[in-house]
């Protein structure tokens, strides 16, 4: 492969402004939101049309050049980290909302459209797009599809996979696949679900059709404070166990509360060991009944301070604190490492206790802020990359947390993907036979392994080198926790 020849061909097919080769201009593309993992690309292509995307893919395939597709770069698992011998294919300029179809309650958008922009464009029709990652003002819908993103409302309304009804995908061999559409269902294998969360390894998303929902006529947001983390975690299971599915059910511990409160002044009780944020929506009678029910469960569960936000401004302030928790960490730590694992709700309290044990063992603070209702944990490990050995300790501790999630019957990821961050822990979750099937699927779509190579699926030799690490039947990282 001749870099000079590939660069010349790309220049012939893209506007000059759509090709970045200057090393200084390439620096913003060396990583995604997981800043600890970096690699400088040798070239970034920013096509402005689907036809230009097709040309880039055709050139790269002809010359064996790896392609790393990139959206807004807000991912948190290193999935958009460049390949040293490949190009970054940025899709941020494909940012048009093509159609808002009110009759069918869908919107057709290009992959570079921001998540929040879809709801903004639909608001005048009384509609919105439900999945709302904390980065929704910046993250792109193409990236959401790649990572199968969620958000604070995914408990009731689902992840990206549950809200995308159609995709246009460009395969590495230059074919366009039309998957799904505006209809309720389509024949054949469910390739929509397959592409959701595929981390840019199976094809390049060039168009997305999303489901739009009517805005609920009423909603209330409840803030409940607890003196003990365990009490808050146990209430989460009680609410769901009584048959009620809130629109959102989030949890924050004291460190996260203090950082968020100092940052946005949301009115959180700083002395609380943990708080729950519970949003209930629907018609007025339903909401009022559910609020009364949840308030009783909170009181019985030990909540000492409970507030109900009725006005939209106060509701938005409660949620602002939660969504600002990640950036708020910058006020109390030079760096943080955001983990993403999922566990059964019934294991919340014991897993949080074990994370606290790990925090003491490694001498690193942890702020917990997460989607409690669906058991999607986001422990934020605070560290200083300038201190020798701290990053290595942080990464080791993060791996232990993910192994813990698997040990209790959970997963190494809930919505951030595997990327390069969790490759070792994939060896804990899946057997050799399962990983082999993943590789076969990858090769069916991308036989030359050019699309985002080295991500999401560890090689069997890698798993062998790290000792297999299969939790199933092996030693658990915490003796007091019973295996699932």
Question: What is the topology classification, in CATH, of domain 97-214?
Answer: 3.30.465
CB 176 within 8 A of CB 270: no
Q: How many residues does the chain have?
A: 484
| Of the candidates 247, 251, 262, the residue with the CA atom closest to the CA atom of residue 228 | 251
**Reported confidence tier of residue 473, pLDDT bands at 50, 70, 90:** very low
The whole-angstrom separation of Cα 339 and Cα 327 is 15
Can you name the residues that pair with 382 across neighbouring β-strands? Answer: 336
pLDDT tens for residues 435-448? 999 999 999 999 99
Is the pLDDT at 168 greater than 60? The verdict is yes
- Confidence (pLDDT) at 37: 79
Is the pLDDT at 200 greater than 60? The verdict is yes
Is the pLDDT at 483 greater than 70? The verdict is no
* Residue % of the chain over a pLDDT of 70: 96
Is the pLDDT at 482 greater than 90? The verdict is no
- Confidence (pLDDT) at 185: 84
Is the pLDDT at 142 greater than 60? The verdict is yes
Is the pLDDT at 484 greater than 90? The verdict is no
Is the pLDDT at 264 greater than 60? The verdict is yes
The whole-angstrom separation of Cα 48 and Cα 455 is 26
- Confidence (pLDDT) at 35: 74
pLDDT tens for residues 271-305? 999 999 999 999 999 999 999 999 999 999 999 99
Mean pLDDT value of segment 124-145: 96
CATH of 3-90, one of 3.90.1150.10, 3.30.1370.100, 3.50.50.60, 3.30.43.10: 3.30.43.10
The pair of structure tokens assigned to 43 is 């070239």
- Confidence (pLDDT) at 232: 97
Q: Is 241 exposed, middle or buried (CB count within 10 Å of its CB: 0-12, 13-18, 19+)? A: exposed
Q: What is the CATH number of domain 218-327?
A: 3.30.70.2190
Q: At the top level of CATH, which class does the domain 333-465 belong to?
A: alpha beta
Asked if 97-214 and 218-327 have one fold, the answer is no
Domain residue spans of the chain = 3-90, 97-214, 218-327, 333-465
């Amino acid at each position: 492969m001749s870099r000079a020849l590939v660069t010349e061909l790309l220049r012939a097919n893209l506007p000059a402004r759509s090709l970045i080769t200057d090393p200084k201009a390439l620096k913003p593309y060396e990583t995604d939101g997981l800043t600890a993992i970096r690699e400088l690309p040798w070239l970034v292509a920013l096509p402005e049309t689907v036809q230009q995307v097709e040309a880039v893919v055709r050139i790269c395939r002809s010359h064996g050049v790896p392609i790393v597709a990139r959206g807004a770069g807000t991912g948190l698992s290193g999935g958009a980290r460049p390949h040293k011998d490949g190009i970054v294919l940025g899709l941020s300029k494909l940012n048009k909302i093509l159609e808002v179809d009110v009759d069918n309650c869908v919107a057709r958008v290009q992959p570079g459209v921001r998540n929040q922009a879809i709801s903004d464009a639909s608001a005048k029709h009384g509609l919105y797009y439900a999945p709302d990652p904390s980065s929704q003002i910046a993250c792109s819908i193409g990236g959401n599809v790649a990572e199968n993103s969620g958000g604070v409302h995914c408990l009731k309304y689902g992840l990206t996979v549950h809200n995308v009804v159609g995709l246009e995908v460009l395969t590495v061999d230059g074919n366009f696949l039309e998957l799904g559409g505006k209809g309720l269902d389509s024949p054949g294998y469910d390739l929509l679900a397959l592409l959701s969360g595929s981390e840019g390894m199976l094809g390049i998303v060039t168009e997305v059709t999303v489901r739009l929902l009517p805005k609920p006529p009423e909603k209330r947001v409840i803030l409940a404070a607890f003196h003990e983390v365990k009490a808050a975690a146990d209430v989460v299971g009680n609410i769901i166990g009584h048959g009620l599915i809130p629109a959102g059910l989030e949890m924050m511990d004291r460190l996260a509360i203090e950082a968020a409160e100092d940052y946005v002044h949301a009115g959180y009780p700083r002395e609380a060991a943990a708080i729950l944020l519970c949003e209930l929506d629907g018609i007025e009678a339903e909401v009022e009944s559910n609020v009364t029910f949840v308030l009783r469960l909170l009181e019985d569960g030990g909540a000492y301070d409970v507030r109900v936000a009725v006005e939209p401004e106060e509701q938005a302030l409660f949620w602002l604190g939660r969504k600002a928790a990640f950036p708020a960490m910058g006020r109390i730590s030079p760096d943080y490492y955001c983990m993403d694992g999922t566990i059964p709700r019934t294991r919340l309290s014991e897993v949080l206790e074990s994370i606290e044990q790990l925090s003491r063992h490694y001498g690193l603070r942890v702020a917990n802020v997460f989607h409690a209702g669906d058991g999607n944990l986001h422990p934020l490990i605070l560290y200083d990359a300038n201190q020798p050995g701290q990053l290595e300790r942080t990464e080791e501790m993060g791996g232990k947390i993910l192994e813990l999630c698997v040990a209790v019957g959970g997963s190494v990821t809930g919505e951030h993907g595997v990327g390069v961050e969790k490759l070792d822990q994939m060896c804990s979750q899946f057997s050799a036979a399962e990983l082999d099937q993943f590789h076969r699927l990858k090769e069916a779509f991308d036989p030359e392994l050019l699309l985002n190579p080295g991500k999401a699926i560890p090689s069997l030799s890698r798993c062998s080198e790290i000792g297999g690490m299969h939790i199933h039947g092996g030693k658990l990282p915490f003796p007091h926790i019973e295996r699932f």
